Amino acid sequence: MFPELIDTRPLRRAIDDGLNWVVRNWGDEFEAAAYPLLMLLKAIEDLLVATPWWLIMAILVGIAWLATRNWKLPVIVLVSLLFLGVMNLWEDAMTTMALMIAATITAIVVSIPVGVWMSRSLHVRNVITPILDLMQTLPSFVYLIPTVMIFGPGKIPALIATIVYAAPPLVRLTDLGLRSVDPAVMEASRAFGTNPRQRLLGVQIPLALPTILAGINQTTMMALAMVVIASMIGAGGLGYQVLQGIGRLEVSRGLFAGLGIVVLAIIFDRITQSFGKQLQGRIGLAEAR
């Protein structure tokens, strides 16, 4: 056994007391700040649950067709969605999809500007990269603790924890994509007298879109990977069914709900990948011309 050189109990007590002080004095302010996130999640969930199943199927199959112009992916999407309906997982799947969509939208709104900022400043990149490393390596249960203490069990801490877990890949890939734009193309755009904003919006972001889409794909997958853990603090959905299967030792319930999560992951993974390949092909064709 390693000798105890320092008594860490005062430090742990100070951290716990500090967080308790934050909860007592700033809990209401944090809840008010997070209220728009709850409204976004509730609006998406209500829309998905209220929309007829056949319409959601038609929309997702149509998006799959637009992404590939091929019959294979639409058939996979249709069969996957039919599996959710047949197994009586449709409503839970819509709840899970709402959490994933809300987390992905919020992550996009936050992560892309941060990625742009990192691509423009080496100092900012050096500061933010260790934070991203911490966010990606810290066990998700650890940052569930302060969110549950501040907001209490429910959908808000589940959504915030999912955003924290899922956002870093998009920040990194946005930064990478913008920095990977050909310097010759940037020099040519400067020669035409463009300002930095025009170069960013008209040259860098369009050329970096395949990489940014890969980041959105990773963010979506990580948001889905978080749903089981998020269900422990009140997120509901398919993750809650998996949790119920574990608690009641019902293998079938956990297995079917787990397969439902896999189905959603396959649908969104294939669709976003296909759109990324489309963009890459268009950019390659434009460069060839």
41-99 per-position pLDDT tens digit: 899 999 999 999 999 999 999 999 988 888 888 999 999 999 999 989 999 999 999 98
Two tokens, residue 104: 């992905």
Question: Is residue 57 within 8 Å of 78, Cβ to Cβ?
Answer: yes
- Per-residue pLDDT for 288 more than 70? no
Q: What domains lie within the chain, and their CATH numbers?
A: 26-283 (1.10.3720.10)
Two tokens, residue 217: 């794909």
Question: Is residue 226 within 8 Å of 100, Cβ to Cβ?
Answer: no
In the block, residue with structure tokens 């998996």: 242
Quote the mean pLDDT of the chain: 85
Question: Is residue 261 within 8 Å of 280, Cβ to Cβ?
Answer: no
* Residue 174 burial by Cβ neighbours in a 10 Å radius (0-12, 13-18, 19+): buried
In this structure, of 7-21, 71-85, 115-129, the range with the lowest mean pLDDT score is 7-21
CA distance 289 to 100: 39
* Residue 21 burial by Cβ neighbours in a 10 Å radius (0-12, 13-18, 19+): exposed
What predicted TM-score, i.e. pTM, was given to this entire model? 0.86
In the block, residue with structure tokens 């589940």: 158
Rg (the chain; Cα; Å): 22
Q: Which of 54-63, 208-217, 250-259 has the highest mean pLDDT?
A: 54-63
What length is written for the chain?
289
Q: Which residue has the higher pLDDT, 74 or 234?
A: 74
Biggest distance spanned by C-alpha atoms of the chain: 69
- Output the CA torsion 169→102→276→80 (10° steps): 110
Residues in Cβ contact with 125 at an 8 Å cutoff, skipping those fewer than 6 apart: 118, 119, 175
